[in-house]
Each structure stands twice: as C-alpha cells, then as structure tokens.
Structure 1
Amino acid sequence: MDERSTAPRKAAIYLRISQDREMDGLAIDRQREDCENLARFRRWDVIETYVDQSKSATDRTTIRPDYDRMVADYLLGRFDAIICYDLDRLTRQPRQLEDWIDAAELRGLALVTANGDADLSTDGGRMYARIKAAVARAEMKRKSARQSAAQRQRAMQGRAPKGMRPLGYAVDGEVIRHEAEAVRAIYDLFTRVEHPESLRSLARALSGAEEIDGITPLPKHTHTVSVERAAAREQQGLEPRPIVEDGPWSPSTVLGILRNPRYAALSTYTPKFAQADGKRRRMWKAQILRDDAGEPIRGQWEPIVDDETWWKAQQVLDDTERVTNTSGSTKRKHLGSGLYRCGYADEETGEVCGRKVTGAPRGYKCAGHIVRSGAAIDDFVTTVIAKRLARKDARVMVEIPDGGPHAAGIDSAISDQRARILRAEADYDAEIIEARDLKRVRDAAEARIQELEAEKLMQGRAGALSPILGVDDPASAFREASLDLRRQTIDALATITLLPQPRGRKGFRTESVVVDWR
C-alpha cells in the first residue's frame, strides 16, 4: 500500500454484492468497514457511499443505479477518489475499467481497493488491474459455459427448469390444480374460433375486473410466490423479505403463459441466439429442445394443455393480422356475424357470393354486395329455429353422442395429429425442415384425421348442443341460451343466406332471408 497522500481528497466509497440471498446487508457491511478504515488511514473525506445490493457487474446490460449515480457525480466533480473493497466490486467490464484508468491518468483520480490489490495511481497498479480484469472475465465465461452445459443437460433429460415456478406448477413440479384450471381456461378462451378472448380481457378476468365464464380471479402470481417464499423463510427461522403487493394482472403476463412451452410438457433450453429483433424478448419456439429426429423432447412433468392447443395459441399469437382492440374483447356481438352467408348474385354470371357476412354497427354487410339491418333478421331467424325445435322430432334431428371413453380417445388422437401439422408448419417457418418434409407430414396427418373424424361421426354429431336438444323444451332453451350456443345450434340445423334488400322497398321482408335445413 502506498504512503498516505499529503493532499486531502474527497472520496466516494462504492460497495456491491452480486447476490445477497439473505438481504440482511451483512456482506455489504463487511465491505463498508474495510473501506472506511482505508479512508481514515489515508485521511480522505468520504462525501458519500454508493451501494448496489444484489446487482451483477458481469452483464453489461444490468442497471446498477448507484454505480450510474456515482459516475454522474464524479463527472460533476463531487469527488476525486474512489475506494472499493476489490476491483471486481467496482466493475467486471474491461471497457468500464479503461474509463477509470483514463480518469486516473488524465484527471488524477485516485482509485484504491481495501484489500490492497489495486491502485490506479501507479503504472504497476494499472497493469495489475488490466490483468485481473481479463482473468476474471475469462473465468466468468468458463463458469457461464459450465452452467449452460449443465442446464442443457438437465433439459435434454426432460427435467423441469429451475427458477421461479410458473402459474399452475409447484416448485417441485407438481401440478397445482386450481391454478392449472386457470391456465387451461386461458388457452381455451384465447384459441376458440367463434369469439376468442383478448390478452387484455383475460388479464381483467384474472384480476376480477371482468366476469368471463371459466376464469376465477386469482391474486397476482408474483404476489402469491412472494408470500410462499416469505412463509418458507419464516419456517427456516430467517427474516422474511418484503412481499410483492397484489394488484391487477397485466396482458404481458397472460402472453407469457400462452408462450410457455412448459405447459405442453415440452422441454426447453434458452440459448443466447433465442432473441427477437435484437431485443431480449425470448422466442418461445426456439427454446424447445429436439432429439436427433427433430422431435420435441418431452418433459418429465404432467402437461396442463395438449400439444394442439399450445401450437394453436402460437399460431394465433404469430398472426400479424390478429384482431386486437382497445376494449380488450373480441367477442361476437351479432347472432349472424361470421355465420350468415351473402346471397348476392352476379348479374352477368349468376354466381352467388356465398361468403360469410360480418357484423356492422346496425346489422350485417358483405363488402360491395349487401348491407342489411340486423335486428329484424335475427328475430326472424330465432323464430324459425325455435319453431323447428318445438317439433316433436327435434331431439332426433341431430344425434347426440354418448360421450364415452371411445369418443374421448378419438378426440385425443385427432388432437395429436393436428399438433403434428402445427409443429411441422412451425418447423418449416423456422427453416428446420424443407417443403417436401412439411408436405409428407401434413398429408399423412390429414389422412389419419379424416379416418378418425369419420369414426367420430359414427358416434354422433351434436354433443355440444345437448343443453338445448337434451331438455324437455328445446325451443325455450334455445331462446334463453348464450349467444355462442344459439349460434352453434343455428349452424348445426341450417344455412342462413341473406339476399340484398329489394330496391325501392322498405321494411323487412321474410323472403329476403333463405333458410336451408341441413
């Protein structure tokens, strides 16, 4: 250690620890004591102590608030000396070290360490600092490589990743049933065809700000986990950490649930290249580990959703034309939107449009063909369908399946084949397989699906309509049913075609709505 400076200096003390698991400050206090002793020995006036607790200096993207504040204060001239316990407490980045060496050489900054290993005021001290920083960085990279190899090996064995538990799974990997039900509901409501929920509406439902069938409000997940960790620390006789406040769920959290392959029991590993658009947002599909045949490696834990559902969610999320809105709801608001068909006929060819109409502010439209008021049309269709359901033969119009285990097995097999197609399409988009491989997988899967669906049809067609067709008064049940169930009933029984409103005629005319029974 150099002799004491003859000129008094204004000094800053910088203290840092990468990970303080106990958050009791004892490790920081040990550094503080040695640094303050050195300041007294050199007779330096400590103007401020800067502390970054549980902040890594290895990752250059990590924000160290007090370090940044110290740099700003130095540039303002508040001090001309820095004391830290060890050089790697100050920085592990060679670029940052060179900045401090420049400050020592060009501006007279005195930077010393309490362990006596570095003093940037001398040539020898600067050389030692550079060597130590290079060695530390090399060791950090070796350690990172060892940890990455261990994590990849763990994932290749299908073992659950470490870290904060996801919603639905306990720390030991066991399924938490009530949370798993919420996860399944999120996937089902987001991927259903007729009226999918948005990320925003699902977040509001989880927060209790909106009622959605199938979603039970839950405390914010970070709050739940912090409560569990506090309880565990208390059982160990440790001081509990602050508990994260409960609050509303965010759409980004719902997005993370939908993107997480773990829910389909797909083993994952996050390589450094798994980033999107240069950002640190991870690409979930790039995390999925595969065997030599290109098939995903299955995790050794119970899946919460099946493969098809997970891949279907990825398709929806990846669709750049996915419908989003400020209200957070993508529910159908019209009985016939996406159900009724356009009956416009070309005057020259006589060809009928046949496309499904969309909802308009006051009714339905097909761009360039028809614009119709909706209330009268919906009343007419509802009356016609209800009359048909009131007939004695209503319950045999569509055979109701028994819903036995054989039917469930067929559904599962169909789901597996659809998941194969979705997975192959994603692999093709990621340039993992070629077009001929995609065609081979798709053709084989579609052929098997056709066989399975034909078998399923033998089991019956309308299990979803049993709340209407399976009661004593189907007509009344239909009128009182939800919009979704009424739409399913109409679709199962008939095709509704809307003709253009006759020119010069006002008011609703029944002949402008064609009902073709199936």
Structure 2
Amino acid sequence: MTTSANVYVRISQDRAGERAGVIRQREDCMRRAADRGWEVLAVHEDNDQSAKSGRRRPGFEAVLDDVQSGRVGVVIAWALDRLQRNRRDELRLYEACQAAGVTLSLVNGAELDFSTAAGRYVADNLGSIARLEVELKSDRQQSANKQAAHEGRRSGGRRPFGYDQDGMTIREREADAIRTAYRDLLSGVPLAQIAKTWNEVELHSGQARWAEGHKGEPSRWTGQTVRVVLSNPRYAGLRAYKGEIVAEAKWPPVVAQETWRAAVAHLSTRQAVPRKLARRLLSGLALCGVCGAPVWGGGNARQNVPNYRCSAAYGHFARMSEPVDEYVSAVILERLSRPDAAQLLTTTKRPDTAALHDEASTLRNRLESVALEFADGTLTASQIRAITERLRSRLAELEESLADAGRVDVLGPLVRATDVRAVWDGLSLEHRRAIIDTLATVTIHPPGRGVRTFDPATVRVRPKGEK
C-alpha cells in the first residue's frame, strides 16, 4: 500500500518576492517522496513567514489538520526548523504526530517515528537544538540591529515608502507626495483626505501592503497607515531604535527635522484623530444661533439642495448651504484682501534650527556615553539617573523648539497672494475650512418662517476670540 505524504516548505524572509527558497525546498522534498515511493497529496507553503514571530501560519495549520484527520502517514520537510521554531508549535506538532502515528521525514535530518520512545527522544533533542540556534541567532541579530541604529544605518526590511529597496535612494514621486502630505497636514487637512489623494494617484507602499513583489489586489491607504508614515522619523533623516531616536541617519531626509517634529506634535492632538471627511464648508465649524451646538451638513432642505442643520435639535433650522458658504467665503476673502492682512500671520521669531540640531545631536551622543560609563562602573546608578534626567529634559525642550520652527502658517498662501480669490478657489475644501477655523467663529441663525431670500444678518462671522 502506498504511503500518503504531505510536503511543508517555509522561509522567514522573501524580500524580493521571488519564492526561490520555497521552490528549492519543494524540489528536494518531492525528490525525497519519489525516492521512498510516497504519494504526495498536498504541498503546504508559508512564504516570508517567520515561525518565531508567533503569527498564524496557514500552511503549518493545514499540515496539522491533515495529520489529525489521518489523511497522511508522513510529513516531509526540508529541515526540522522549517516546521517548528517555538515550543508551542513543537508540542502541537509532536502530539498530533504521536496520536496519529505519523512520521516526520527531514531532507536535512533524521526520520522521526513518533510511534517509538526513541523517535520521540530524538525529536525532543533536535527541537531543543533548533530553538537554541534560533535564540542565539536572535541575540546576534538584536545586537547587530542596535549597533546599526546607533550608527544611523538601516538594518534591512521592506522597501520604505519614499525610498528604493536600498533604503538610501529617494524615489522622487513618492517623496514629493510625502512632502505635500506634511504641508497639508500642518495646514489642517485630515489624514483621511491625504489617504484618499494617495489612493487616487495609485501610490504604492509597504505600509499599505502594496510592497513590490506581492501578488493580489493592493490594499488602499487609510488615515492610520498615512499616520504611520508621517510619524516615522526616517523621513526627517533620524534613526530610531525601539521607539527612541538615537542618531542622525545615513540616508538623506525627505523633509526638515522641524517639519517632522511639527507634524508629530500635530498628530498628538485631538484634531489629528482620523475622522470622517466633511462634505460642506462649514460642517462642524459653524454653530447654531439658537443653542450653540455645531452645525452639520445634512440631507436636503428641498430635493437635491444641500443644507445645514443644527446637530442638537432638528427643528432649530434647516437652510440651504450654498448662499451661506458664499457669504462666509466673501467675508473671509475681504479680510484677507486688506492691506493689513499680513498682521494676521502668527509669525514668531524663528529659532536657529542649525544650532538646535547640533545641540540635540550632542545630547544624544552624551546619553550614549553615559550608558557606557555606567557599564564600565565609572558612574553609579544614582548619578546616571540624575544625568539622564537632565539630558532628556533639555532634549525635550530642543525638540519642542524644532517643532515650533516647523509649523506652517495656514494663511500664508492667501496673505501673500495678489489675487486672493484665485488662490482661495484653488485650495482644497479642508484647507479652506482650516482658514475659516483660524480666522473666525461662524454662527448660523434661523432665516425666519417663510423667508426664501438670503439675509446676511442671519449669519454672523466674528473674528476668532471676539465675544
């Protein structure tokens, strides 16, 4: 009677997406089956899947199902560490094989017969050796990653968005999109709108699971994946390790450090929380003149006519949004067209960013040397705590100053324009909303029963902060 077998193949990393590793393993395993006269029922594959990561491996789970169901008598793998590399998977595999009387046939190893005590003993020892090798490799890799981080080097991984696979060469099309995204974010454009724009121009990215070499339909950008990109210190030319910036990076930055820090500060505020995109100019910005609740763009006052309604009480008012939008826009543009419009800019004395960068770099180097001095026994635990606290406090002050230096002025494009109306018409809805929110508080009152003409007196536009 011919013995039924399954083949299992896996590699931990497949950065090129070529599946060369699993193909070679499969060829060797199929050759083993042919030599032994076994009939291969299925080949299960986990490509680019680390067993140590703890993530679910579909191919491995399929092998267990076949073993437990009694469909196969042999499982063929290239080596034991391809099948299991953590204690949990090892126990599940061994218990399933023992219960079903299944043999593990290893191309680079022994045949493990779980029906005998000797076979189980050999399997336990081989599993312990495999785990030791994994842990030693992990320790070496962590040490190498830490050293690379403190030297500002990249330590591998998927192609970063905005750069080529080497992580050093900038891809200008993607980098331009990132720069625009930072500018838009600091101008008040929500993350969801940036994601929508990137999807429309079909930007590819590992963050959006659009990494090169992967098959299938690409996932779309979301506000959250855009947040991950814009929060990444890589784009400011900074190298982080375990969430902490430790060095200047070897690769070229996409934006200035102060721009990145301003964006991170912005993303930490409530305003940066992903939200549904507004479809009306004043949705959520204007207030009800009756109760003070926010006004939202609702359905239609009349069929196919957009309108504004009080969010707190349906009956306070429902009025057409177009004339209200035109009036508010006209008031804002009139203010921005005055000779003294430049006084609206919230400019402050810009700090010497070069000096801030130099001091911040010096402090990071000092933090590293303090850790070495403590390891050498030069400093006591109390001394290193005091020194570290002082250095980190000053570093936080410098980073806040850099963030202030990177903030953009929402009003700048309009205040400096010769044709304010033309610039206004060319801005995105979210940018126009940010300008209104910066300059004014808008209150909408009921138009009055039976009134069909627009009365400017029912819409109050007062300067921000004015009672």
TM over 0.5: yes
Q: How many Å separate the matches in 1 of 2:283 and 2:13?
A: 60
Does residue 465 of structure 1 match 2:411? Answer: no
**Aligned 8 A contact 1:155 1:269 in 2:** yes
Q: How many Å separate the matches in 1 of 2:425 and 2:413?
A: 16
Which among 215, 234, 239 is matched to residue 262 of structure 1? Answer: 234
**Aligned 8 A contact 2:44 2:59 in 1:** yes
Residue 425 of structure 1 corresponds to none
**Aligned 8 A contact 1:86 1:115 in 2:** yes
CA deviation string 1:480-500 (max 9, x = no partner): 5656787788789x8676485
Q: How many Å separate the matches in 1 of 2:228 and 2:67?
A: 41
Residue 339 of structure 2 corresponds to 396
- Where do 5+ consecutive residues of structure 2 fail to align? 299-306, 361-384
Cα gap change, 1:18 to 1:502, in 2 (>3 Å): closer
- Higher RCO (C-alpha 8 Å, min separation 6): 2
Residue 171 of structure 2 corresponds to 176
Does residue 23 of structure 1 match 2:19? Answer: yes
CA deviation string 1:401-460 (max 9, x = no partner): 99xxxx99938859x89xx9xxxxxxxxxxx99xx99998799789979x999xx9xxx9
Residue 124 of structure 2 corresponds to 130
Does residue 78 of structure 1 match 2:65? Answer: no
Q: Describe the SS at the equivalent of 1:304.
A: coil
Q: How many Å separate the matches in 1 of 2:459 and 2:230?
A: 41
Q: How many Å separate the matches in 2 of 1:357 and 1:400?
A: 29
Residue 207 of structure 1 corresponds to 199
When the two chains are superposed, the root-mean-square deviation of aligned CA atoms in Å is 5.3
Does residue 34 of structure 1 match 2:26? Answer: no
Q: How many Å separate the matches in 2 of 1:336 and 1:301?
A: 42
CA deviation string 1:58-89 (max 9, x = no partner): 42634444433232222222233445454444
Which structure 2 residues correspond to residues 148-167 of structure 1 after superposition, within 5 A?
148-167=142-161
Aligned length: 410
Instruction: Pick the structure with more strand per residue.
Output: 2
Cα gap change, 1:34 to 1:387, in 2 (>3 Å): closer
Q: How many Å separate the matches in 1 of 2:284 and 2:446?
A: 18
Q: Which amino acid aligns with 2:135?
A: K
Per-residue deviation, 1:168? 1.3
CA deviation string 1:327-347 (max 9, x = no partner): x5246x235963x67878xxx
Which structure 2 residues correspond to residues 81-100 of structure 1 after superposition, within 5 A?
81-84=74-77, 86-99=79-92
CA deviation string 1:120-154 (max 9, x = no partner): 34333322221121122012101111011101110
Q: TM-score, normalised by structure 1?
A: 0.60
Q: TM-score, normalised by structure 2?
A: 0.65
Per-residue deviation, 1:302? 2.6
Cα gap change, 1:462 to 1:204, in 2 (>3 Å): closer
Residue 350 of structure 2 corresponds to 410
Does residue 303 of structure 1 match 2:259? Answer: no
Q: How many Å separate the matches in 2 of 1:319 and 1:134?
A: 49
Residue 50 of structure 1 corresponds to 43
Q: How many Å separate the matches in 1 of 2:312 and 2:157?
A: 52
Residue 62 of structure 2 corresponds to 69
Q: How many Å separate the matches in 1 of 2:338 and 2:448?
A: 40
Residue 277 of structure 2 corresponds to 329
Cα gap change, 1:257 to 1:207, in 2 (>3 Å): same
Q: Which amino acid aligns with 1:136?
A: A
Cα gap change, 1:175 to 1:85, in 2 (>3 Å): closer
Q: How many Å separate the matches in 1 of 2:11 and 2:460?
A: 72
**Aligned 8 A contact 2:284 2:296 in 1:** yes
**Aligned 8 A contact 2:5 2:76 in 1:** yes
Q: How many Å separate the matches in 2 of 1:61 and 1:505?
A: 67
Cα gap change, 1:151 to 1:512, in 2 (>3 Å): same
Once the two structures are aligned, what percentage of the paired residues are identical?
22
Q: How many Å separate the matches in 1 of 2:343 and 2:52?
A: 61
- Where do 5+ consecutive residues of structure 1 fail to align? 1-7, 209-216, 227-241, 271-286, 291-296, 345-352, 421-431
Residue 142 of structure 1 corresponds to 136
